[in-house]
Structure 1
Amino acid sequence: MARVVLSIDAELAWGFHDHPEPPVRELRRIAAGRRGWGILLELLDEFDLPATWAVVGRLFLARTDDQIYTAYAADGGVPIDPATLSGSADQWYGNDLVEQIRDARADHEIGCHTFTHLDFTADTTTAEVARAELQACVDIARERGIEMESFAYPRNRVAHREVLAETGFTCYRGRAPPRWYDRSCLRALGKFAAYAGGFSAPPTVYPTVDEYGLVNVPASLHLFGFESYARTLARPFRRDPVVKQARLGLERAVEEDGVFHVWFHPNDLVGPEEVGRLRAVLAAIDAMRERGDVTVETMGEVAKRTLA
């Protein structure tokens, strides 16, 4: 039977800490972070769909207890103090939001998105820095009774897998397989044609075990990876071409008996149109589950099944 995985990069403002002057669209997403988090939990509860929440470790904290973690290395060994960054405290701390995940009706998994949304492919991210970031997440989660198994790389930049394995993780979200237009010099035009025309489905993926014993659960579709001008231009073709892509991906996964892995962020839900897209996709998944065509699993569950 086909399986559906929903993975969520839960980061609030940490996803933009290395952008000294975020553009307007990013500022909108930062402002929408907490509201989007709540809406997402409500929708997942409404459809009783479990998801893997890859949480930035600093969001386990409140400002009052953050100082005990200043010894953890980040950005080449220099700890990041949110007090020096723009935005209000509730955009940098989220212990209350993590508790909302744990209290939800749906049986969610809490995984890791590094401690400070660190780019693991940066020149300054040595194995020691990566290890400190991961260990910080493991420690702070374990203090709260959470054993982390799943990992999502910031910006999907995969590196230091050996450290990931050493720190006790069992799986990670790998990059999506390339689609036909990714190999073209006219990639943007090809992507627009695929989404607007609705003739090319996202890939079905198959988890594999890498040389470090980690399960790679590749992505299939970024739910908010077709935005701005492209989305506006595509409206005359389809009401929401991404919803069509999701439905095509679900149908393909059923035909090919594989995994359809959708990922996104809470702060993608900046307005009614984005919320409507998510609701439509979740409703499509729920309908196929009710028909017995798919099951919905977390990344950790997929990893256990793969390693069994």
Structure 2
Amino acid sequence: MGSVVLSLDAELGWGFHDLPNPPTRRVEAGRRGWSTMLELLEEYRIPATWAVVGHLMLESCDGRHADHPAPDGWFERERTDWQDREDVRFGPDLVSDLLESDVDHEFASHSFSHVLFGHPETDRELASAELERSLEIAADWNQCVESFIYPRNSVGHRDVLAEQGLRAYRSKSPTGYGIRCIFDLMVRNKSLLVTPTIDEHGLVDIPASLFLFGFEGSARTVAESVWDDPMVALARYGIDQATERDGIFHMWLHPNNLTHERDDQRMRAILSYLAQRRAETGLTVETMADVVHRVTGATAETSVKPTMSRR
């Protein structure tokens, strides 16, 4: 039997601050989606890996970050359009809610300001600064960070992750998104289960299996009107695969994907099914850190357990 991993890219406005026209609905949904996901995970007792943008843990800032080697204009939206939008720039209240949850979630890093590590303009100095700053802030909150989720899944500078003491990252899914995923499963006979590997830097690569919001817009509306939510069906398929064979079914999403009640219903359907199958079969639900410990042979005694509270 395999296991199921759920990871979340927790970023509020930082997932879009570099875009010319940030998607308003997604930006505005960040806080609501964060709280909704915490509530659902507590209801079904599902632990997850929450990768948090470090800037969200600040109480305030000057919007300039002069000591950060970011390219010119990287923090401009903080000083212009979002100057008075502390709700999308900061989230210490949300992070506290996460750390105080009764569920044993993993606190992970999503960088400091959502820099794209795999892009050519992101040099080693910038990647190091992003990690150092996010880890410093995490330490201020008494958090030990083992896992990293790359902003927009743009993998790069893995050597810097290893140098900074991180132990795992989420790489891209072997299947496509949305309709492409269905094609890969039904036509190309691919599996939703993935296998963690240890890369040349000693990091555990835990690939994604399924982005839970990869089938949206009119295609989703049509599918739901004549059948069922395609992503719920795919998630159930992956969960069932994990009960039948070895491997990991690794689902992921952003809290800001929950922009409407039907998105809440999607996540409730997926999590309730996961809880049901866990109860029926003994299926294991893991965090990325749990996978690291299992793959590398680390034990609870040899791994540092973070204190889930603020200093």
* Shift in alpha-carbon separation, 1:278–1:119, aligned structure 2, 3 A: same
Q: Compare 41-50 and 65-74 and name the one that shifted more.
A: 65-74
1:173 aligned residue: 170
- Residue-by-residue CA offset, 1:251-306 (whole Å, 9 max, x unaligned): 11222221110000110111110000000000011011111341111101111111
Preserved CA contact (<8 Å) 2:63 2:76? no
Task: Give the whole-Å Cα distance in 2 for the aligned partners of 1:189 and 1:291.
Answer: 30
| Alignment TM-score, normalising by the size of structure 2 | 0.88
Distance in 2, matches of 1:206 and 1:242, equals 22
Q: 2:258 aligns with which of 262, 266, 269?
A: 269
Instruction: Using the aligned pairs only, state the percent identity.
Output: 44
Matched, 1:73 2:69: yes
Q: 1:14-93 residue pairs with structure 2 within 5 A? A: 14-22=14-22, 26-63=23-60, 65=61, 70-75=66-71, 82-86=78-82, 88-93=85-90
> Is residue 12–residue 31 contact of structure 2 (8 Å, CA) maintained in 1?
yes
Distance 1:236 1:163, change over 3 A: same
Cα distance, 1:37–1:198 mapped onto 2, change above 3 Å:
farther
Find out whether 1:240 has 2:236 as its counterpart: no
Query: Which one of the candidate residues 245, 251, 262 is aligned to 2:240?
Result: 251
- Which sections of structure 1, spanning at least 5 residues, go unmatched? 183-187
- 1:301 maps to which residue? 290
Query: Distance between the aligned counterparts of 2:181 and 2:243, measured in 1?
Result: 23
Q: Is the 8 A contact 2:194 2:250 kept in 1?
A: yes
Q: Distance in 2 between matches of 1:105 and 1:220?
A: 27
Offset at residue 217 of structure 1 (A): 0.6
C-alpha distance in 2, partners of 1:281/1:189? 19
CA distance in 1: counterparts of 2:30 and 2:74, whole angstroms: 26
**Residue in structure 1 matched with residue 308 of structure 2 by the alignment:** none
Cα distance between partner residues in 1 of 2:245 and 2:239: 10
How far apart are 1:235 and its partner, in Å?
A: 2.2
Q: Residue 99 of structure 1 aligns with which residue?
A: 96
Amino acid at match of 2:237: L
Q: Cα deviation per residue 1:90-111 (whole Å; 9 max; x = unaligned)? A: 1110111111101111111111
Please give the alpha-carbon distance, in whole angstroms, between the structure 1 residues aligned to 2:283 and 2:258.
25
Displacement after TM superposition at 1:200 (Å): 6.9
Q: Aligned-pair distance for 1:68? A: 9.8
- Whole-angstrom distance in 2 between the partners of 1:292 and 1:119: 40
Between the two proteins, the alignment pairs up a number of residues equal to 296
Contact in 2 for aligned 1:36/1:267 (Cα 8 Å): yes
1:174 partner letter: S
Contact map agreement 2:232 2:270 (CA 8 A) in 1: yes
Asked whether the equivalents of residues 53 and 111 of structure 1 are also in contact (C-alpha less than 8 Å), the reply is: yes
Picking from 269, 278, 294, the partner of 1:280 is: 269
Determine if the alignment matches structure 1 residue 118 to structure 2 residue 118.
Answer: no
Q: Deviations over 1:145-197 (max 9, x none)?
A: 10111011111111110011101100000111136xx8xxxxx86556679x9
Q: Would the alpha carbon gap of residues 145 and 80 (structure 1) be closer, same or farther in structure 2, given more than 3 Å must change?
A: farther
